[in-house]
Amino acid sequence: MIIIIYNKDYSLEVNIEPDNKIKQNKTLYFTPKTSKLIIMSILTFGIYEAYWFYKNWKVIKENTNENMMPFFRAFFFVIWAYLFFDTVKREAIKNQIKTNISSGLYAFLYFVLIAISSLADYYLFISLLSVLILVPINNLLFENNKNASNTYKEKEKFTIWNWILITVFLSFLFLFPLIEKYTGLSSNYSLNKKANNLNKDLPRMLSTVIRLDKVTGANNTLRYQYTIVNYDAKYMNENRIDYIRNFVTKYSCKTLNDDIYFKNGVIFKYVYLGKLEKELISLVITKDKCEKNKKL
């Protein structure tokens, strides 16, 4: 860059500044090494991805003076992913960097991989693959950094704080099964997990007339829904209701006696439906209720 200066004595001074010195005035993107980006994202269950978005939205704001809030764009990173990818791509094209990245396709795949975790717990690990979509974007950011500064050569390496965070998350992964086993059985997560495992084999006929339809787990309760096939609610009278309640209560208290969930205070609720899915009877079995029945 050529700089012309007029001195006090009206003499002309011409200075030539190297381009890389001018380029370094631009804030550089946050570009961790590929291994760091993948490992940190997986071990933090995607939290590091939000941090990655935040750091780079902050750079975009500083370089463009755009009126935005990087924190909220990072917090809702799935929604803002397309605009971010497109912004990075447009800057690369402006810098004459070759790229075959499709902002729309990458944003769509990223959204699908993130959203798939909501379908079931075991899809969580599939959703962690979303970080792979960010790898080529991160590489493109790196190329933009090299274009902005001739002295920029390396990506961000692992820091001591990264290793501390990795240690914490690995410890959590190993300790969580033990914590869940002894203290978290009544949590919604644990109950929902148990219900999902049971639902894999449902609906299933338990006898010629009774079918177990589904199990749900939430709010310290496991709810079992049964259907008495082709049974009309109009035939259900008080005597039959009392008989079923007494029979199910005695049977449940006997079979649940060794159930670890039951021992930890989880409530078992049984709902029987009849024809046209009309509720016939509903009863709740608790540890206290079984203890009282023993004394009778």
pLDDT at 291: 83
Contacting residues for 58 by C-beta, under 8 A, at least 6 apart:
70
Pairing relation of β-strands 267-273 and 221-228? Answer: parallel
What is the pLDDT tens value at each position of the chain, 296 positions in all? Answer: 544 444 455 444 445 444 444 444 678 899 999 999 998 888 888 889 999 999 999 999 999 999 999 999 999 999 999 999 999 999 999 989 989 999 999 999 999 988 887 776 666 778 888 999 999 999 999 999 888 876 676 677 888 888 888 888 778 777 766 665 555 555 677 888 889 999 999 999 998 989 999 999 988 899 999 998 888 878 878 888 888 888 888 888 888 877 888 888 889 999 999 888 888 889 999 988 888 877 65
254-264: per-residue pLDDT in tens? 888 778 888 88
Residue whose entry in the numeric block shows the structure tokens 């930890």: 264
Q: What is the dihedral of CA 86, 91, 97, 103, to 10 degrees?
A: 0
Q: What is the largest CA-CA distance in the chain?
A: 115
Domains in the chain and their CATH numbers? 2-182 (no CATH), 189-295 (3.30.300.250)
Contacting residues for 149 by C-beta, under 8 A, at least 6 apart:
20, 23, 24, 26, 28
pLDDT at 243: 86
pLDDT at 12: 47
What tokens appear for 168 in the block? 């914490």
Please state, in angstroms and rounded to a whole number, the distance separating the CA atoms of residues 233 and 212: 18
pLDDT at 236: 79
2-51: per-residue pLDDT in tens? 444 444 554 444 454 444 444 446 788 999 999 999 988 888 888 899 99
pLDDT at 256: 85
pLDDT at 233: 79
- Cβ-in-10-Å burial (0-12, 13-18, 19+) of 148 comes to buried
